[in-house]
Amino acid sequence: MTTTTSTNILICPDCQHENEPQRIYCHSCGARLDRSKLSRSAVPSGEPDVKAREHLQKMLRGGNANLKNAITKFAKVILGASALAAVIVMVLPIEQPPAKKNYDIAPMINMDMVSANSNHQGASLVYNEDQVNSYIASNLRRKDSPAGQGYFPLKSVIVRFEEGLCRIGSERQLFGYSIYSGSSYRVKIENGKIISTNTGGYIGRMPIHPALMKYADIILQKAWDALARERTSVSKLASIEFHPQSVTLVAQR
């Protein structure tokens, strides 16, 4: 129960804090004070309890600010944790077929394409995945290949063929640690140009939506640079067809 002293000071029933007679709530703990025992002379007549209201509003504003700060800090923590999780997922190794180490079965694919294009007989060149991967592996080992240049060298490229689809996976090294990435494409040749449609990709174990891969496709740029001659030869073909575990290259007539 709230009591008053001879100086008309309100004493909080909860924390025993002495409050000014114009207060409605305890200045210390915020408990409501019993003002019924105050004499009329304790509070000037006709004057609203402005200070009490201002103090209450200040307390409420302070509470809102604290809540906003707490929400902002929580959001930053969530964003930071999400970014860290994304980085961890991207650097995790994936299951990928081992790079070819035997180059005995590697055909001279680029020379075959150049010859077929120059003959204008519409020849069809068919290669399986092992042949293409062996050719790419031997190509990357050339001394003049850009694959090993720079601080983020290209260690291997593995292709896989499905019906109408070509999947390309690469392994690059950063300070000795392997970073895996790849993408899949639907490919056609029109007017001497290779037209490719991205159907999705990945970095590490993180899948990348096709709409985002047009920005992330730079991760395969070194592979494209290393196979620049082959890309030029492919652009001169009449068509390219992908089938399960094989590719068919059709020369111009």
**Residue 15: C-alpha distances to residues 33, 42, 73, 185 (Å):** 11, 22, 33, 73
- H or E element that contains 119: helix 109-119
d(CA 198, CA 55): 62
pTM for the whole thing?
0.64
Q: What are the residue boundaries of the structural domains of the chain, listed by start?
A: 1-47, 109-250
Residue 90, φ and ψ in degrees, nearest 5: -70, -30
pLDDT for 238 equals 93
Both tokens of 149, joined, read 């240049």
Q: What is the pLDDT of residue 41?
A: 53
pLDDT of res. 166: 95
Residues 122, 253: contact at Cβ < 8 Å? yes
One digit per residue, pLDDT tens: the chain, 253 residues? 444 444 578 888 888 888 888 788 888 888 888 877 676 555 444 444 566 666 666 665 655 566 777 788 888 888 888 777 767 766 666 666 665 555 556 788 999 999 998 988 889 999 999 999 999 998 888 888 888 888 888 889 999 999 999 999 988 888 888 888 889 999 999 988 999 999 998 888 888 898 888 777 777 888 888 899 999 999 999 999 999 999 999 998 8
